[in-house]
Amino acid sequence: MKNDMGLIVKTTARATIPLIGIFGAYVVSHGHLTPGGGFQGGATIAGAGILFLIAFGLGEMKRRYNHHLYSALEGLGGLVFLGAAMLGLGVAFFYNTLWHNGPVFNGQPGTLLSAGYLPIMNLAVGLKVFAGLVSAMVAIAAFRRWDE
């Protein structure tokens, strides 16, 4: 059985995967301004990964997918979230010190570089959700019990 889908699906996936990825990155990075945020944007980018897996097949996905890299990225996302939460540990845990007296991310509310540590946490959660969901989907797709 053929491992990938037809020519039309593959060509459409080549056009659509960057679109979904860029839109997911937009949702993640504007998480403090528009609907969405870390989880929603990360799940959207993971949708691009799942589209790659469906359109190009498991063999191509295994060639591009590095288990150690994605595992490390997921851990990095959690650690960045925890590090951002510990930035204002002098006052309290989860104290938004970047917003109150930080060097960056303290712009006018409503602009992109505002809201203190929220964009950093959104990026961390988005990275973690993307890496975790893609890893889970590849693991499920690689699970073969009925073939042998």
Partner 1 sequence: MIAPEFFYAALIVMIGAFLALLRVFFGPSVPDRVVGVDTLNTLIVAGMVLLGAAYDRTIYIDIAIVYALLSYVGTLAIAKYLQGGLE
Residues that bind partner 1 (CB under 8 A): 1, 3, 5, 9, 16, 19-20, 23, 27, 34-36, 40, 44, 47, 50-51, 54-55, 57-58, 141, 144, 147
57 versus 78: smaller Cβ distance to partner 1: 57
Q: How far apart are CA 48 and CA 129, in angstroms?
A: 13
Q: Which residue, 36 or 77, has its beta carbon nearer to partner 1?
A: 36
Could you tell me which residues come within 8 angstroms of residue 35 by beta carbon, excluding any fewer than 6 positions away?
none
Between the two ends of the chain, the Cα-to-Cα distance in Å is 15
Query: Least distance in Å: CB of 20 to partner 1?
Result: 5
Q: Least CB distance from residue 63 to partner 1, whole Å? A: 15
Rounded to the nearest whole angstrom, what is the least distance from the CB of residue 89 to partner 1 in the complex?
Answer: 34
Residue 13, φ and ψ in degrees, nearest 5 = -65, -35
DSSP state of 102: -
